[in-house]
Amino acid sequence: MMLRHLLVQIKGFFGDKSRLRKRDPLIGDNTDFKCFEWVIGQRFTSRQSFKNVVAKYGILQGSNITITSSNNHRKQNIIMKCVSRCKFYLYGGWDSRRVVYVVKSVDGEHNCSRNMKKNRQMKSRWVADQFLEVFKVRPHWQAKEIMATIKKTFSVLVNKDFAYRVMYHTHRMLHGSMLEHYTKLGSNIEALKHINPQSLVKLVNNPTRVDNANVSQRLHMCFEGLKHGWLEGYRKVICIDACFLKTFLGGQLLSAIGRDHNDQMYPISWAVVEGDENDLVIKSYEHQAILNGVDKVFPKAEHRHCARHIYAHWHKSFKGEELKLLFWKAIKAYNKADFEDA
Ligand SMILES: [Zn+2]
């Protein structure tokens, strides 16, 4: 008799649990918010998760919802209502027995129309998070295009200020990750030296740091394979170029590039060095420094110049489209006859 009673109790317990699970789904990232409906008992892992879901629901279904009452101490209660004062009402709170945040009361019906002009739940930080992958590929994504994409994706019209705030947040998120990458530089170099000891990697730390922190000042890299490949199989042409790194880290990227048999670029070596992009004087000096350096290291080498830079100087005294075309025709001539013809 006792055993039977116990079996009935166990069955009741499990039966009850499966019924609970079916009735009260856990709402999170996997939920489809385009056709989402509010039901009493829906569970959330935390109060913040509940707020995130309300934001997603509001933005994707085009309703302008706002918090009308919030109490973090009394069962973490939140009451949400529609800004256009329609029927919608949502009340969430903490369920300490089940240790989850739940919807305690709801009227999910709206009698307002879709609002495109403003959405209180749409925060620039949230949008920045959604578009982070796009910003990685297009760091100079323009405010105008951001506004158009938000309009197309979320059907909400935002102003230019909002687009700039989105840019600001993505900038911060991406720069944070950039610093993290630079902190891995030391271990990456050690790993490279271990696998490929003949490669040249020189990292110079900043000696002027008072706190003795390991802040890198410049880095020079040349892989063994590239070095041997160039020495053994390529024309002895080295093109040196530099560009400014357009990030908060600053500095310049210097590269030495050769030409392969298909007239394509062949990277030989590269370096990241310090340098201020606002300092125009240094830029012109640096050009002279390249000339001097090449004269010193390779005194017998023929020193050619970049055609685009020659044109930039030459164009100051000889203006006009016709002369420009003639210049490039002469430059591109592969033989003497073509050159004289030009
Ligand atoms: Zn409404």
How confident is the model over 199-211, as pLDDT tens digits?
A: 888 888 777 766 6
Cα–Cα distances (Å) from 231 to 224, 226, 237, 266, in that order, read: 11, 9, 11, 12
The pLDDT of residue 78 is 92
Measured CA to CA, the distance from residue 330 to residue 342 in angstroms comes to 5
Which residues line ion ligand 1, judged by CB < 5 Å? 63, 82, 86, 88, 110, 112
Query: Do β-strands 252-259 and 78-82 pair in parallel, antiparallel, or remain unpaired?
Result: unpaired
- How would you classify residue 64: left for phi > 0, otherwise alpha for psi between -120 and 50, otherwise beta? beta
**pTM, entire model:** 0.49
> What is the 23 CA–ligand 1 centroid distance (Å)?
26
State mean pLDDT over 69-78: 82
pLDDT tens, residue by residue, 225-240: 888 888 888 877 788 8
> What is the 308 CA–ligand 1 centroid distance (Å)?
61
> What is the 86 CA–ligand 1 centroid distance (Å)?
5
Give the residue among 204, 188, 183 at the shortest CA–CA distance from 271: 204
> What is the 144 CA–ligand 1 centroid distance (Å)?
29
> What is the 63 CA–ligand 1 centroid distance (Å)?
6
The pLDDT of residue 332 is 74
Residue 127's Cβ-side half-sphere holds a number of Cα atoms within 13 Å equal to 26
The residue behind tokens 């933005």 is 59
The pLDDT of residue 90 is 93
> What is the 42 CA–ligand 1 centroid distance (Å)?
20
Measured CA to CA, the distance from residue 138 to residue 161 in angstroms comes to 19
pLDDT tens, residue by residue, 139-189: 889 999 999 999 999 888 999 999 999 999 998 888 776 677 777 888 888
> What is the 55 CA–ligand 1 centroid distance (Å)?
14
